[in-house]
A and B are shown apart, each in its own frame.
Chain A
Amino acid sequence: MSGQRRRSPLGIANGAGSAKHGVEHWWLERVTALALVPLAVWLIASLIAHENGTYGSAIAWLKTPTVSILMILLLIALFYHTALGLQVVIEDYIHSKLKILVVAATHLGCFALAVAGIWATLRIGLRG
């Protein structure tokens, strides 16, 4: 590959992830983890408390402004964290050209799921 040799060291490093951008992934994974500690504990505790409830009581609970807001915050943190976490797993085990496609599909899937969850929460919360 003579073309490869003609590239400058910067050209080779570009796009392969630099020291500055790698930190962003690591840092956001921690920030979302930190946000998820109280939010996920809140969700589990609430689900147990409402386990015996009906459809009506579940809707009444989800309609509360505090619950709607916390649920949306949870969905954002959860799927951001899921996308970053799954990306690391994929990068560790897939070494072919497929890697970038699988990572992109995972990110898009997480984004779609977060939007779907937020839409459902808003629909319940804002319906008269």
Chain B
Amino acid sequence: MAGSAGKRPPPLSPHIQIYRPQLTSVLSIANRISGILLSVFAVALVSWLIAAAAGAQSYAVIEIFVRSRLGHIVLFGAAFIFFLHLCGSIRHLIWDAHYGFELRTIYASGWAVVVASVALTLITWIASVALTGQSR
């Protein structure tokens, strides 16, 4: 390395990987990741609309996937990701209105986001099973 000492990259200051994950940091990155994943489902929504506009044949292709076991798992995951982003965003909107910045409130609202996302996903799943009469 003696010859290439001048080309050695400068040392970097410690980054997020040295910190212990906390509820606040985990929810922060979760809101970003869920947002990115939801943009994939936004494409799926447009695909569904175009398939519906194109006619019964193309709609049937989408329907086969939606009604499959994999389709159910993907939709269940999508529901959780959606509710996580929804609840996280509402927490952000409340912060934007200058409320809830005390440390205790930040943790309380954080856990509220987790509990509400799980509860809403389960309610969605129960409603879906009740309405379709399937035990999946």
* Nearest-neighbor residue (CB-CB) of A56 within chain B: B56
Least CB distance from B131 to A in Å reads 6
Contact B52 A58 (CB under 8 A): yes
A-B CB contacts (within 8 Å), total count? 76
Contact B86 A40 (CB under 8 A): yes
- Main secondary structure on chain B at its contact with chain A? helix
- Main secondary structure on chain A at its contact with chain B? helix
Number of interface residues of B (CB under 8 A): 31
Does chain A have a CB within 8 A of B93?
yes
Given contacts A116-B50, A123-B53, are A78 and B42 in contact (CB under 8 A)?
yes
Does chain A have a CB within 8 A of B127?
yes
Contact B49 A120 (CB under 8 A): yes
Chain B positions within 8 Å of A13 at CB level? none
Least CB distance from B79 to A in Å reads 7
Chain A positions within 8 Å of B36 at CB level? 86, 89
Cα separation A85 to B39 with both chains bound (whole Å): 9
Q: What is the 8 Å Cβ interface bit string for chain A, positions 35-63, against chain B (1 contact, 0 not)?
A: 00100110110001101100100110010
Which residues, 80 to 97 on A, are CB-close (under 8 Å) to B? 82, 85-86, 89
Contact B131 A37 (CB under 8 A): no
Chain A positions within 8 Å of B49 at CB level? 62, 71, 116-117, 120-121, 124
Contact B42 A33 (CB under 8 A): no
Cα separation A47 to B45 with both chains bound (whole Å): 11
* Nearest-neighbor residue (CB-CB) of A50 within chain B: B131
Least CB distance from B112 to A in Å reads 16
Contact A55 B82 (CB under 8 A): no
* Nearest-neighbor residue (CB-CB) of B97 within chain A: A30
Chain A positions within 8 Å of B82 at CB level? 40, 44
Q: Could you list 28 examples of A-B contacts with CB < 8 Å? A: A34-B93, A44-B79, A44-B124, A49-B131, A51-B132, A52-B131, A52-B132, A52-B133, A55-B56, A55-B59, A55-B60, A55-B63, A62-B52, A78-B42, A78-B45, A86-B35, A86-B36, A86-B39, A116-B46, A116-B50, A117-B45, A117-B46, A117-B49, A120-B46, A120-B53, A121-B53, A123-B53, A124-B52
Chain B residues with a Cβ under 8 A of chain A: 32, 35-36, 38-39, 42-43, 45-46, 49-50, 52-53, 56, 59-60, 63, 79, 82, 86, 89-90, 92-93, 96, 124, 127-128, 131-133
